[in-house]
Structure 1
Amino acid sequence: MHQHSHNETTHRAAAAMLPGWILLAALAAPALAQTLPVTPAQRSTAQQVAQAGVPLSELAPNAPDEYTVKRGDTLWAISGLYLTKPWRWPELWGMNLEQVRNPHLIYPGQQLVLEKRDGRATLRVRQAANGEQPPMQTVRVSPRVRAEALADSAIPTLRSNAIEAFLTEPVIVDEAVLTNAPRIVAAPEARVLITRGDRAYARGPLAAPLKVQTGASDYRVFRDARPLKDPVTSAVLGYEAQYLGKAVLVRGEGTQAVKTAGGGQEQLPVPATIDILSAKEEMRVGDRLLPEPPRLFTNYVPHAPARGLQGTIVSVYGNAVAIAGQNQVVVINKGTADGIESGHVLAIMTAGERRLDRSQPGERTAIKLPDERNGLLLVFRPFERLSYGLILEINNTVQVGDSVVSPQ
Structure 2
Amino acid sequence: MTMASMRGQSTRWGRAAVLAAAGGFALAAALYAPGAQAQKYPITSGQRATAQQVAQRGVPLSELAPNAPDKYVVKRGDTLWRISGLYLKRPWRWPELWGMNLQSIRNPHLIYPGQTLYLIKDGGYARLATNPEGDIETVRATPRVRTESLADTALPTLDPQAIEPFLEEPLIVDEETLANAPHIVATTEERVLMAEGNRIYARGPADAPLLLGPGKPRYFRIYRDGKPLQDPETGEILGYEAHYLGKAELLRSETPGTAGTEQTPAADPIPATLQLGQTKEEVRAGDRLLPAPQREFLNFTPRAPQVPVDARVVSVYGSAALANAAQNQVIAINRGRRDGMESGQVLAILSQGARIVDKADPDRPMVQLPNERNGLGMVFRTFERVSYVLILEIHAPVRIGDKLTQPQ
Task: Give the CA deviation at 1:198.
Answer: 1.4
Q: Distance in 1 between matches of 2:263 and 2:376?
A: 71
Retained in 2: the 8 A contact 1:63–1:81? yes
Could you say which residue in structure 2 is the equivalent of 1:113?
Answer: 118
Could you say which residue in structure 2 is the equivalent of 1:375?
Answer: 375
Q: Is the partner of 1:190 in helix, strand or coil?
A: coil
Could you say which residue in structure 1 is the equivalent of 2:276?
Answer: 276
Could you say which residue in structure 2 is the equivalent of 1:355?
Answer: 356
Task: Give the CA deviation at 1:100.
Answer: 6.0
Q: In structure 1, what residue type is equivalent to 2:381?
A: R
Task: Give the CA deviation at 1:205.
Answer: 1.4
Q: Distance in 2 between matches of 1:237 and 1:14?
A: 52
Aligned pairs (5 A) from 1:332-347? 332-347=333-348
| 1:394–1:164 Cα change, 3 Å | same
Retained in 2: the 8 A contact 1:18–1:102? no
Q: Distance in 2 between matches of 1:325 and 1:157?
A: 14
| 1:350–1:35 Cα change, 3 Å | closer
Could you say which residue in structure 2 is the equivalent of 1:55?
Answer: 60
Retained in 2: the 8 A contact 1:323–1:400? yes
Task: Give the CA deviation at 1:284.
Answer: 1.2
The answer to which structure has the higher helix fraction is 2
The answer to which structure has the higher strand fraction is 1
Q: Distance in 2 between matches of 1:355 and 1:39?
A: 45
Q: Distance in 1 between matches of 2:256 and 2:353?
A: 64
Retained in 1: the 8 A contact 2:100–2:128? no
Retained in 1: the 8 A contact 2:79–2:159? yes
Could you say which residue in structure 2 is the equivalent of 1:295?
Answer: 295
Retained in 2: the 8 A contact 1:37–1:102? no
Q: Distance in 1 between matches of 2:69 and 2:213?
A: 56
Task: Give the CA deviation at 1:299.
Answer: 1.8
Q: In structure 2, what residue type is equivalent to 1:169?
A: E
Could you say which residue in structure 2 is the equivalent of 1:385?
Answer: 385
Q: In structure 2, what residue type is equivalent to 1:57?
A: S
Q: In structure 1, what residue type is equivalent to 2:384?
A: E
Could you say which residue in structure 1 is the equivalent of 2:14?
Answer: none
Identify the match of residue 44 of structure 1 among 20, 40, 49: 49
Compute the TM-score of the two structures, normalised by the length of structure 1.
Answer: 0.80
Retained in 2: the 8 A contact 1:184–1:287? yes
Task: Give the CA deviation at 1:62.
Answer: 1.4
| 1:273–1:85 Cα change, 3 Å | same
Aligned pairs (5 A) from 1:165-204? 165-204=165-204
Could you say which residue in structure 2 is the equivalent of 1:245?
Answer: 246
Q: In structure 1, what residue type is equivalent to 2:255?
A: G
Structure 2 unaligned regions, length at least 5: 10-23, 136-155
Is 2:234 aligned against 1:223?
no
Retained in 2: the 8 A contact 1:249–1:275? yes
Is 2:83 aligned against 1:75?
no
How large is the Cα RMSD of the aligned pairs? Answer: 3.3
Q: Distance in 2 between matches of 1:359 and 1:32?
A: 68
Q: Relative contact order: is structure 1 or structure 2 higher (C-alpha 8 Å, sep ≥ 6)?
A: 1
Task: Give the CA deviation at 1:196.
Answer: 1.5
Aligned positions, number: 364
Task: Give the CA deviation at 1:193.
Answer: 1.5
Q: Is the partner of 2:193 in helix, strand or coil?
A: coil
Q: Is the partner of 2:39 in helix, strand or coil?
A: helix
Q: Distance in 1 between matches of 2:356 and 2:364?
A: 9
Retained in 2: the 8 A contact 1:342–1:381? yes
Report Cα offsets for 1:151-188 as digits up to 9, x if no partner.
xxxxx982112110100122122222222111112222
Q: Is the partner of 1:299 in helix, strand or coil?
A: coil
Q: Distance in 2 between matches of 1:222 and 1:265?
A: 36
Task: Give the CA deviation at 1:349.
Answer: 0.7
Retained in 2: the 8 A contact 1:18–1:101? no
Task: Give the CA deviation at 1:306.
Answer: 0.8
Q: Distance in 1 between matches of 2:302 and 2:265?
A: 65
Retained in 2: the 8 A contact 1:184–1:286? yes
Task: Give the CA deviation at 1:369.
Answer: 2.2
Is 2:397 aligned against 1:397?
yes
